Amino acid sequence: MTDIEGASARLAREIGNVLERNPQSRNILQAFEPILQEKARLAERIVCKQIDPSAIDRSRLAGGIPVIRQTPLLLPEDPWEEIVRAVIPAIIQGFPALRAELLVLQKGIDDGTIRLSDFYRAQDGHPVLARWAAAIVVRQVAIDFLLWAAEKPVLENRRRTLQEVLSTSGWDRGYCPCCGELPSVAVIHEKIPQRWLHCSRCGHDWRFSRTLCPCCARESQREMPYFFVEGREQETAFICASCKRYLITVNHIGDLEEHDPDVLAMGMAHLDLLMQQKGFLPMTVSAWNVFD
């Protein structure tokens, strides 16, 4: 079994384990599984120009300046056409309602109406997206979803090459030291009860104080409050009364257990819904945690 096949099997097993605990999340996990599987394959397979770790200013990183503000992590010359050709069928498999728009997008990319490099070359990509949406009559939300799926393997690929720099930086901020995104989920392990934050954008995990809010840095004299459903104390939502944000959190997870933080977060989408009904906002918006 190749590394890619092994990763695919582990992901499928993780999704199965989460569904045993949270069968109510079946629709979300089944929709996103093809995208997660393709993302994992692409992160191993694609060839991207790598960032030289020695080019990262460690003093700036220690001062709270993430890598993405020191050097671009998404480049015009990245293999975007190869990536979107791989992720479009995966998105269609999970989200068949997007099929027509994604096929129009694919045709626009194939005939040159849409040049993905233009978006990553622009200082402000929003006018580029608006121009694409108007030219091919596709909702911008469909374009945004495609770019989200396409960017993940590139960011994970580059983040892996910077792992040593990131893990030894002494980073103590609530946002990701690699891509600057706020965390989508936190994990607190069983034997050593430290809080680890996870970035769903680039896949980085970093340790963070249990008495600080990652979003507003509000400090409490004791551990910050958590919301949970009775009988499901392992699955909680950290809440901050100051900024009215919450963070899905998995408590007491076994150190030897295989776990994908994104899958864990998707499996607790019912908590996202509950917290938003209570007037809280997610720490960061993910493709699966916003409900209209």
Asked if residue 15 and residue 91 are part of one domain, the reply reads: yes
Residue 121 falls within a domain, yes or no? Answer: yes
Q: Which of 143, 164, 185 is the last residue of a domain?
A: 164
CATH, residue 226: 3.90.1670.10
Kindly report whether the global pTM for this prediction surpasses the value 0.85: yes
Question: Which tens digits make up the pLDDT trace of 69-125?
Answer: 999 999 999 999 999 999 999 999 999 999 999 999 999 999 999 999 999 999 899
Q: Is the predicted pLDDT of residue 256 greater than 50, yes or no?
A: no
Q: Which of 114, 135, 164 is the last residue of a domain?
A: 164
HSE-up of 177 (CA within 13 Å, CB side)? 28
Residue 274 falls within a domain, yes or no? Answer: yes
pLDDT interval class at 251 (50, 70, 90)? confident
pLDDT interval class at 292 (50, 70, 90)? low
Asked if residue 119 and residue 221 are part of one domain, the reply reads: no
CA–CA dist 76, 83 (Å, integer) = 13
Question: Which residue segment(s) compose the domain that 180 sits in?
Answer: 171-282
Average pLDDT, stretch 175-204? 92
3-state secondary structure string, the chain? Answer: CCHHHHHHHHHHHHHHHHHHHCHHHHHHHHHHHHHHHHHHHHHHHCCCCCCCHHHCCHHHHHCCCCHHHCCCCCCCCCCHHHHHHHHHHHHHHHCHHHHHHHHHHHHHHHCCCCCHHHHHHCCCCHHHHHHHHHHHCCCHHHHHHHHHHHHHHHHHHHHHHCHHHHHCCCCCCCCCCCCCCCCCEEEEECCCCCEEEECCCCCCEEEECCCECCCCCCECCCCCCEEECCCCCCEEEEEECCCCEEEEEEEEECCCCCCCHHHHHHHCHHHHHHHHHCCCEECCCCCCCCCC
Asked if residue 206 and residue 113 are part of one domain, the reply reads: no
Average pLDDT, stretch 34-51? 91
Asked if residue 148 and residue 93 are part of one domain, the reply reads: yes
Residue 73 falls within a domain, yes or no? Answer: yes
Asked if residue 13 and residue 92 are part of one domain, the reply reads: yes
Q: Is the predicted pLDDT of residue 254 greater than 70, yes or no?
A: no
Question: Which tens digits make up the pLDDT trace of 193-233?
Answer: 789 999 999 999 999 998 899 999 988 766 567 787 777 77
Domains in the chain, number: 2
Residue 292 falls within a domain, yes or no? Answer: no
